Structure 1
Amino acid sequence: MIVHHRKHLDRGKTSDVYLHFSHLPASQINRIVNRPEREIFEKHPVAYDMGLGSLIVKARIFPYGIRRTHFGKMFYITAKSMNLDDNLMPDGSATVMGPTAANSPDDSYQPYPLPPGRSDEWPTLVVDVGYSDMLEHLTTNAKWWLGNSGGDVKVAVVITVDERQPVIQIEAWQNPAPPPAPNRP
């Protein structure tokens, strides 16, 4: 089904890059996500919510993949120019399990080495890329990353592409800084 949908995307028969399956029992989601041929999810990130019985698969299309790769290269070149390239560990699109749901960014990074006591479960920076008509969904993803990571995700970058204009929009989302501690006498 994913391959079939991707063919429709490649031929211009649809512009929706998301496949949404609903009302799935948790056992079926587990079977799908943990199957031996899981490599399909390395090409097509997934998000799922066991409580809602919802599974979303993001079908990647060729021009979109190029843009995501270009961002990763630009990010690495910038980090290298700041002598930070040895301090970043790319995590790619690894699926991360939150309290009730899981999500896969298009790209992600962690500091290297990790600070003492910092888990490697969550990335520090996540990147999601999509077409401009997907901005609301990408913004929801950014908020999910920031709200479910217990503070480990510091920045969620949303990149939208409008091929009709052509325009690329980049937004950086982060949690507000905690208020300063009150001065005590």
Structure 2
Amino acid sequence: MKSMILSKPLKKAAHDTGLTQKEIAKKTFLAYTTTNGHFNGYPVTTDNAVLYNVAFNNHDLAFTISQEMLGLMGLVDGCQIKKDALALNAFQRREAKQRKEVEAEREIACILGTTVSELTEKQKADLLCHSVEFADEILFEMSQLCRELEMIGMSFMDLMKQKIPYWKQQNWIE
């Protein structure tokens, strides 16, 4: 099982949320001594990193974990994420849930029915918040998709070539 040092991001997430190490240990169902060790530089396994991510619900921590523990797939700007299928799936589910919560809370469906010229500043901010959540979800979905394709010896481009005739038939694309 892979691991990494998360002491700095954990300390920052704890500071940002105001949680103590004991409270974090309770939320993650980890022993206090384990949590204390992670805060003091001991390696964190992928499973425990996912527990911390869920407990903190912190975008900076999620990004750090995804970069360090999930990363070797190159992204547009040269960032990297790893291809651990189970962790990718867990992060994708979490991000999908968060996006749906933001979507409902900020009434995104109603905003999308508004013309661009009629958007208020609050609606624009709500769309940006939703877009950020959606981008997180897409990152993990694309990573998981590429990992699955890699496992069967297929490239993303091969998949697109296979799907384009179907999408055209459905009139989804021209």
Would you say same fold, with TM above 0.5?
no
Larger radius of gyration: 2
Structure number having the greater helix percentage:
2
Higher strand share: 1
- Compare relative contact order (CA 8 Å, sep 6+) and give the higher one, 1 or 2: 2
TM-score (norm 2): 0.30
